[in-house]
Amino acid sequence: MPVQLPITTYGMDVLRKTTNPVEKIDKNIIELIDNMFYTMINAYGIGLAAPQVNSDLSICLVDISCIDEYKDVKPLILINPVILDSHGESTKDEGCLSIPDVRGEITRPDKIFLKYNDFDMNEVKIEIDGFLSRVAQHEIDHLHGKLFVDYLSKESMSKVKSQLRKIQKRKVETDYPLFEN
């Protein structure tokens, strides 16, 4: 039975570190991914990266099928993902389970060409666009110690600074468990 893992929050070191590649799929990796899906769903998230559950592995999940217009989009399990190329650009509102109650307008490429490993450690290459691409980029950023707030303008960042300090001090309430360090 999967368990809900606590989410790491803004200010924790694990969110600023580059992850380590997954070398092989074993029962621990499968259990981690099962727990990550369970955690993401129970936190009403649409993406989750391993650092957000205090793991240093290069794994992230994307599942936007809970949104009506994307109900037919299959979830992605991205192991060791690398963005090879990108095209276009759009600006949209983003948030993050690790930075509760903070949102911001973020500009990202519209379309990405991506490679990652599947459960058999085979290399997969895909092109994705639109909302799926945006969420994947957000989660892949986590694997490199980058957060969506890093893209905010100075003006936007100044507006959320006090909220970020509250999160750092763990003075925030969520409907999901937060990691205590």
Q: For 1-19, how does the pLDDT look when each residue is reduced to its tens digit (9 = 90+)?
A: 999 999 999 999 999 999 9
Give the integer Cα–Cα distance in Å for 29 and 93: 32
13-168 to CATH, choices 1.10.150.120, 3.30.70.100, 3.10.310.50, 3.90.45.10? 3.90.45.10
As a whole number, mean pLDDT of residues 153-179 equals 95
Over 80: is that where the pLDDT of 181 sits?
no
Q: Alpha carbon of 78 to those of 60, 90, 135, 145, 156: distances in Å?
A: 5, 23, 12, 16, 30
Per-residue confidence band for 131, with pLDDT thresholds at 50, 70 and 90 = very high
**Tens digit of each residue's pLDDT (9 = 90 or more) over 19-67:** 999 999 999 999 999 999 999 999 999 999 999 999 999 999 999 999 9
Residues known to be catalytic: 139
**Which pLDDT does position 43 carry in this prediction?**
97
> Counting beta carbons within 10 angstroms of the beta carbon of residue 166, is it exposed (0 to 12), middle (13 to 18) or buried (19 or more)?
middle
Domain ranges for the chain, please list them. 13-168
Q: What six digits make up the tokens of 37?
A: 């899906």
88-94 long-range contacts, Cβ below 8 Å, gap at least 24? 88/129, 90/134, 92/134, 94/134, 94/138, 94/148
Per-residue confidence band for 96, with pLDDT thresholds at 50, 70 and 90 = very high
